Amino acid sequence: MLVRAVEESQVRIGAVLVLDDGPEALEQPEFKDAWQRWLGFSNALALRGPTHPTWIATAGSLAATGAGAVPAQAVAAQGAADAALAPEWLDIQQELGAEAGFSPEFFGRLAGAGLPLPEVGEELGPGIPVDLSWPKQRVAVMVEPGEQDVGDLATEGWRLLPADAAQILKAMGEHHG
């Protein structure tokens, strides 16, 4: 478990819960009890709010997704990345972090470049939902923008980009430059 004070009145507690479901573990007589405890804990942890990052997995699912890092190390690394972010950026990361394409490094690059805070989850133009937007700069971000959405927003003066920090930084730099 990782506990980190963000401000005097705010504490973030990250938790990792992993069940060993490897072949050797499955053969153990206490596996059924371990699985039931894991299931109970996972149900309870799922109720935590977005300000407390929680990872619930099995060893098999971590191996299948290529997440070879020990989960506790992942939480510690996440905590170090979170510590580098201002609380406002951290809130945005945690709101969108579960979405594909929004890694802690993504938000770290945007925040580190000194970008203003984006709007989150706005609808632009003819009702196109975007993940992030900077209205003053007319730059918006969607994990996987479709050609139709890019075109529709372009006609209204918006630049719709994928969740790629380098492209966003370039677009925002062009606006200022």
Kindly report the CATH number assigned to the domain that includes residue 139: 3.40.960
pLDDT computed for residue 93 by the predictor: 81
Q: Are residues 63 and 41 in the same domain?
A: yes
Domain's final residue, options 36, 51, 84: 84
pLDDT computed for residue 129 by the predictor: 93
Q: What are phi and psi of 124, to 5 degrees?
A: -120, 160
Query: In the chain, which ranges are continuous DSSP H helix?
Result: 23-26, 31-45, 59-64, 71-84, 87-96, 104-112, 147-154, 165-176
pLDDT computed for residue 177 by the predictor: 47
Q: Are residues 159 and 96 in the same domain?
A: yes
Domain's final residue, options 84, 119, 153: 84
pLDDT computed for residue 10 by the predictor: 56
Domain's final residue, options 84, 115, 147: 84
Q: Are residues 65 and 102 in the same domain?
A: no
Distance CA 160, CA 156 (A): 11
Q: Are residues 7 and 49 in the same domain?
A: yes
Q: Are residues 105 and 128 in the same domain?
A: yes
Contact 124, 130 (CB under 8 A): yes
- pLDDT tens sequence for the chain (177 residues): 455 555 555 566 667 778 888 888 889 999 889 888 888 887 777 676 656 666 677 777 666 655 545 444 444 444 444 445 778 888 888 777 655 567 777 888 898 898 999 999 899 998 999 999 999 999 999 988 889 999 999 999 999 999 889 999 999 987 654
Q: Are residues 79 and 39 in the same domain?
A: yes
Q: Are residues 67 and 116 in the same domain?
A: no
pLDDT computed for residue 66 by the predictor: 54
Q: Are residues 104 and 171 in the same domain?
A: yes
Q: Are residues 97 and 123 in the same domain?
A: yes
Q: Which domain holds residue 169?
A: 89-176
pLDDT computed for residue 61 by the predictor: 67
Distance CA 116, CA 111 (A): 8
Number of domains in the chain: 2
Q: Are residues 79 and 107 in the same domain?
A: no
pLDDT computed for residue 23 by the predictor: 87
Q: Are residues 53 and 119 in the same domain?
A: no
Q: Are residues 75 and 96 in the same domain?
A: no
